[in-house]
A and B are shown apart, each in its own frame.
Chain A
């Protein structure tokens, strides 16, 4: 049967000859037997992810197996994820190769990625090499600029959803909570974005999200990469999370943020005056990287409309050490294809004769 979404990305057609050698005509896309399951990578509440290998072309894949028995029909997250990913073709967005239906499961076949940013930061504690921060951040913003241009919000950006290859490619994944910005009327529970990466307006109960939501999350991830610690790491819920944010940005007022007092979770107790501080007061490493604090503070702005866009952030002075060719790379091409662009060894890799890794504990997520 013809499955248009299964075919190789036309942007990678230069590999056509190589692919053709691998291609086995008798093994179809869309069939469970076309993929061999290797090991289990992680298990979630309604899906399990396996590492696998495609018998069609010999590529490593990540198989996200969604259980259907407890659901009424296809889960809405699966519908949205596939619907959105299918029309996103970009080197910094995870590629959905194939969809397989069986009686009790639905399997999404993704390209395989070696690790994710959460795990990478866990293995390299104390902040990342500033060149690598630049490389990861550039790719994150490139992916974000692309989806925002398509009027799609990710809404759940956190280090676990940013997949990283051993070469240093970064791709946005897990679009289960994403939705098309063109239909923003229906918002659902404010349980978007892991609490630490949630912007203040969402914490206050706002439901008319815009791309600012993703920019805030990206800003938090940016500071975390440099500092080696989450920037706003609350432990006891929304109230504390907001307090952590106000401690840095200062408590907003109706003057600095028109409409603030009308937000559902707005609490007048908040109005104990705190003056804004520079971000380097809580994240000292920001001052060691040129322009990093300025970019971070432009992304972490409390009043939503004031934020920098992903597109503008890419042009920020922080990225000026990068090669100008990076801006010419086409949407389907990885920035790592530019000569001289590569991941730098992290400081702890240079010193460690033993692995410091696996500090993060728990089960790993490798796709």
Chain B
């Protein structure tokens, strides 16, 4: 993860924090009413594992889980289909949050051990179809702040420089 552009140390930090807070207050509502709620843990783990393999930033990972939560909340989805949903959420979130060349390619994604072990393949058609359904569900609005968007700002205030070990506080993300 890149650290060169540290907005939370800049002049605009308070301003940006306020804008994020404002957006946070207008987030869509989450009711935890998915018929597949018991599977949430598994799919959140899948997103975490895949995002770690591609070294995606925490904001992309958290946004992906949040998109998954909101989508599951609104639809009754089969387990097989949930795999496509979860992976599409991750790709969509990384396209929004990451720089272009960090967005995972389908070929690399499909060759991951965790994918081949389960005979999982995400095709271009599946991805496109699901991304469009997701975008329509969220009315194309992916500016959704998550905990990961705030953490650096709060850490910069809560943790003193002398508390850092190799640039990170002892308890990190």
Contact = CB atoms under 8 A, between A and B. Distances in A.
Interface residues of A, number: 35
Interface in A74-120: 74, 76, 79-80, 82-84, 86-87, 99, 101, 106
A187 B140 CA distance: 21
Residue from B11, B12, B95 whose CB has the most chain A CB atoms within 10 Å = B95
A170 to B, nearest CB: 25
B2 interface: yes
A74 B89 CA distance: 12
Nearest to B59: A183
A186 B2 CA distance: 7
B7 A185 contact: yes
Given A185-B5, A185-B7, A189-B100, A79 B141 contact: no
A286 to B, nearest CB: 30
Nearest to B134: A74
A186 B102 contact: yes
Contacts of B142: 79, 83
B143 A180 contact: yes
The dominant DSSP class at the A interface is loop
A305 B11 CA distance: 10
A72 B127 contact: yes
A184 B19 CA distance: 13
Nearest to B98: A186
A339 interface: no
B2 to A, nearest CB: 6
Given A73-B88, A74-B132, A151-B16, A185 B139 contact: no
B128 A74 contact: yes
B19 A72 contact: no
Contacts of A79: 92, 95-96, 135, 140, 142
A189 B98 CA distance: 12
Contact of A72 (B10, B97, B105, B135): B105
Contacts of B4: 207-208
Nearest to B17: A182
A207 B99 CA distance: 11
A207 B59 CA distance: 18
A76 B5 contact: no
B40 interface: no
B133 to A, nearest CB: 9
A188 B19 CA distance: 23
A74 B91 CA distance: 10
A186 B10 contact: no
Interface in A24-83: 68, 71-74, 76, 79-80, 82-83
Contacts of B127: 72-73
Nearest to B138: A83
B131 A186 contact: no
Contact of A82 (B20, B88, B140): B140
Contacts of A187: 2, 5, 99
B31 interface: no
Interface string A148-186: 001100000000000000000000000000001111111
A258 interface: no
A87 B19 CA distance: 14
A361 B40 CA distance: 57
Contacts of A76: 95-96, 100, 103
A185 B59 contact: yes
B37 to A, nearest CB: 26
Interface string A291-323: 000000000000001000000000000000000
B101 interface: yes
Contact of A186 (B99, B105, B141): B99
B57 interface: yes
A266 interface: no
Contact of A207 (B5, B15, B139, B140): B5
Contact of B5 (A83, A184, A305): A184
B149 A68 contact: no
Interface in B1-26: 1-7, 10-12, 15-16, 19-20, 23
Contacts of B38: none
A73 B99 contact: no
Contacts of A340: none
Given A150-B19, A182-B16, A182-B145, 15 more contacts: A5-B139, A72-B105, A73-B127, A74-B92, A74-B131, A79-B142, A82-B140, A181-B16, A182-B7, A182-B20, A185-B3, A186-B99, A189-B101, A208-B5, A208-B7
